[in-house]
Amino acid sequence: MSTIAAIATPAGTGGIAVIRISGPEALAVADKMCLRFAQGKKISDVAGGRTARVKILDEENAALDDGIVTVFREPASYTGEDVAEISCHGGSYVTKAVLRSALAHGAAPAGPGEFTKRAFLNGKLSLTQAEAVMNLISAGGKSSAKAALSLLEGSLSAELRKIRDQLTDTASHLSAWIDFPEEDVEEVSPDVLGAALGSAQSSVAALVADYDRGRLVSEGIDAVICGRPNVGKSTLMNLLAGCEKSIVADIPGTTRDIVEETVVIGGCTMRLSDTAGLRDTGDVVESIGVDKAKKRIGQADLILAVFEGSEQPEKADLDLIKELADKKYIAVVNKSDLGQKLSPELFEAAQATVFISAKNGDGAEELREEILKALELDEFDASAPLLAGERQLYCARRALDAITEAKAALESGMTLDAVWVCVQAAITALCELDGKNADESIIEGVFRNFCVGK
Ligand SMILES: Nc1nc2c(ncn2[C@@H]2O[C@H](COP(=O)(O)OP(=O)(O)OP(=O)(O)O)[C@@H](O)[C@H]2O)c(=O)[nH]1
Ligand SMILES: [Mg+2]
């Protein structure tokens, strides 16, 4: 295994930056590029988990910076290897020069996610926990961070182990019965077998069913604000964003392009898109904006459809209501400060109807609550085992199909061999979900999305 190095802190200027070196030669590399203040001592003399104050040398061994080296010794480190973490002053020149020095003194540049990949290969983390590291780094809200931490702490791995153990018990019982029918093996009762499969089936089905909610928590909610011109979409955007993100004017057709902002709501991140007012228009630029708005409506997790409450509905409003009939939307009836003419019965198909005044903020809290309710995130336990990412969902679905097939085989009176084959397929899919026996291309795929230095 080579020794790798990368800058672990973000690009830019900061108080300190950390350059991480991991591998069998990590301490030897640190010895070459760091002189300890304690005379006659080397980095390789430092005990695991301890630090040393050093003068950091550049690639030509000239003094570059004062810093601190933290030493971790295998296996008690993040990667499971020897690790030296050099904390230097966080200017972009110094940070890059420290990395260059590490490379000049024998380390190779780390690839994206290579530290975490080594942690996985050295058995420090399961594949789902490694994926959690990435989610925790990118978490923008409390619930997303909580879900990622719970995954990192192994809540999903523990749940998968429980289901796998249950299926393995069933499979070994089946094998004993299939392979040694004449021996004194306790007969497998279809009822007991059916109950064990049923329990595994409902556990995996619960994970699959909760995937969408988990995805919204860990990846963020995509919400689009739409409606005919001048109803107050941009005013609503600014209210939720807490800043003047979109231009507001009493001129229909003010917003033409999509304006995006990320906000945190109930601990979840929500990417909001303010869009051009929906209307037929001869203006080429505006009609491009309207097309973009329609496309966003088709892709969003949730639609905030804005209507003007103080006026009778226009054709564009009625067309939008029709268009949204089979979509998840909240009817936001705006301008409540001007009185109420619009009948709430228009919005029977909506998840909720909320009356607000985007201008003075009335109803904003209720809207936030309804957004969480519409996505079933209001009572969501982010610390429960959750699948994170399409890869995990794909494996869980395969496991679920195999268990369902095993149950069907049992119920239709097929041979126990057929049941056994399906149970094995389910175990394989669950192992792959957690990275056991996962093939190299899957592992590569997981770490490809990581940043360098993690
Ligand atoms: N009285 C009142 N006026 C509002 C309210 N919300 C928005 N307005 C006004 O309505 C006008 C249009 O607001 P915008 O937010 O620009 O409307 P929009 O839907 O984004 O319009 P387009 O971008 O043209 O599609 C502005 O003059 C706002 O000040 C409200 O709650 N009450
Ligand atoms: Mg606008």
Q: Which ligand is nearest to the CA of 231?
A: 1
Report the chain's mean pLDDT, rounded to a whole number. 92
Residue 172 to residues 94, 167, 398: CA-CA distances in angstroms? 59, 9, 21
Least confident of 177-186, 312-321, 384-393: 177-186
Least confident of 144-158, 227-241, 247-261: 144-158
**Residue 423 above 80 pLDDT?**
yes
Q: How confident is the model at residue 184 (pLDDT cuts 50, 70, 90)?
A: low
Nearest CA to ligand 1 atom 11: 250
**Is residue 248 in contact with ligand 1, taking CB distance under 6 Å?**
yes
List beta partners, residue 85.
20, 70
Q: How confident is the model at residue 182 (pLDDT cuts 50, 70, 90)?
A: low
Annotate 294-326 with DSSP letters as a single string. Answer: HHHHHH-SEEEEEEETTSPPPHHHHHHHHHTTT
pLDDT per residue as tens digits for the range 210-249: 998 888 988 889 999 999 999 999 999 999 999 999 999 9
Q: How confident is the model at residue 55, as a pLDDT?
A: 97
**Residue 117 above 80 pLDDT?**
yes
Instruction: Give the number of the atom of ligand 1 that is nearest the alpha carbon of residue 231.
Output: 19
- Under a CB-based contact definition with an 8 Å cutoff, are residues 298 and 333 in contact? no
**Residue 185 above 70 pLDDT?**
no
What spacing in Å lies between the alpha carbon of 242 and ligand 2's midpoint?
A: 16
Q: How confident is the model at residue 181, as a pLDDT?
A: 67
Q: How many CA atoms lie within 13 A of 446 on its CB side?
A: 31
Q: How confident is the model at residue 110, as a pLDDT?
A: 95
- Under a CB-based contact definition with an 8 Å cutoff, are residues 22 and 77 in contact? yes
**Is residue 230 in contact with ligand 1, taking CB distance under 6 Å?**
yes
- Under a CB-based contact definition with an 8 Å cutoff, are residues 373 and 352 in contact? yes
Q: Which ligand is nearest to the CA of 334?
A: 1
Give the integer Cα–Cα distance in Å for 387 and 201.
16
**Is residue 254 in contact with ligand 1, taking CB distance under 6 Å?**
yes
Note the helical H segments in 139-283: 142-152, 155-179, 190-209, 211-219, 233-241
Mean per-residue pLDDT, 277-287: 92
Q: How many CA atoms lie within 13 A of 181 on its CB side?
A: 4
Q: What end-to-end distance do the CA atoms of the chain give, in Å? A: 17
Q: How confident is the model at residue 443 (pLDDT cuts 50, 70, 90)?
A: confident
**Tokens coding 134:** 């990435």
Ligand 1 pocket: which of 279, 314, 359 to mutate (most atoms within 8 A of CB): 359
Ligand 1 pocket: which of 234, 281, 287, 306 to mutate (most atoms within 8 A of CB): 234
Burial 193-215 (b: 16+ CB within 10 A, else e): bbebbeebbebbeebeebbebbb
**Residue 133 above 70 pLDDT?**
yes
Pairing mode, strands 221-226 and 259-265: unpaired
**Is residue 142 in contact with ligand 1, taking CB distance under 6 Å?**
no
Q: Which ligand is nearest to the CA of 276?
A: 1
**Is residue 126 in contact with ligand 1, taking CB distance under 6 Å?**
no
pLDDT per residue as tens digits for the range 431-441: 999 888 777 77
Residue percentage of the chain with pLDDT more than 70: 98
What spacing in Å lies between the alpha carbon of 271 and ligand 1's midpoint?
A: 21
What spacing in Å lies between the alpha carbon of 357 and ligand 2's midpoint?
A: 15
Mean per-residue pLDDT, 60-86: 97
Nearest CA to ligand 1 atom 8: 232
- Under a CB-based contact definition with an 8 Å cutoff, are residues 174 and 420 in contact? yes
Q: How confident is the model at residue 141 (pLDDT cuts 50, 70, 90)?
A: confident
**Is residue 357 in contact with ligand 1, taking CB distance under 6 Å?**
yes
Q: How confident is the model at residue 400 (pLDDT cuts 50, 70, 90)?
A: very high
pLDDT per residue as tens digits for the range 306-347: 999 999 999 999 999 999 999 999 999 999 999 989 998 999
What spacing in Å lies between the alpha carbon of 228 and ligand 2's midpoint?
A: 9
**Is residue 337 in contact with ligand 1, taking CB distance under 6 Å?**
yes
Which among 130, 12, 136, 147 is positioned nearest to 79, based on CA atoms? 130
**Is residue 252 in contact with ligand 1, taking CB distance under 6 Å?**
yes
**Is residue 278 in contact with ligand 1, taking CB distance under 6 Å?**
no
Least confident of 105-114, 123-132, 196-205, 398-407: 123-132
Q: How confident is the model at residue 26, as a pLDDT?
A: 98
Least confident of 199-208, 302-311, 372-381: 372-381
Mean per-residue pLDDT, 285-298: 95
Which residue ranges form the domains of the chain, and what is each CATH number? 4-110 (3.30.1360.120), 138-210+386-448 (1.20.120.430), 218-374 (3.40.50.300)
**Residue 271 above 90 pLDDT?**
yes
- Under a CB-based contact definition with an 8 Å cutoff, are residues 99 and 19 in contact? yes
| Top-ranked range on mean pLDDT: pick from 108-112, 328-332, 442-446 | 328-332
- Under a CB-based contact definition with an 8 Å cutoff, are residues 369 and 344 in contact? no
Q: What is the pTM of this model?
A: 0.76
Give the integer Cα–Cα distance in Å for 34 and 188.
66
- Under a CB-based contact definition with an 8 Å cutoff, are residues 56 and 33 in contact? yes
Give the integer Cα–Cα distance in Å for 45 and 48.
9
**Residue 414 above 90 pLDDT?**
no
**Is residue 235 in contact with ligand 1, taking CB distance under 6 Å?**
yes
Q: How confident is the model at residue 393, as a pLDDT?
A: 95
What spacing in Å lies between the alpha carbon of 231 and ligand 2's midpoint?
A: 8
Q: How confident is the model at residue 381, as a pLDDT?
A: 86
**Is residue 238 in contact with ligand 1, taking CB distance under 6 Å?**
no
**Residue 195 above 80 pLDDT?**
yes
Mean per-residue pLDDT, 66-92: 96
**Is residue 77 in contact with ligand 1, taking CB distance under 6 Å?**
no
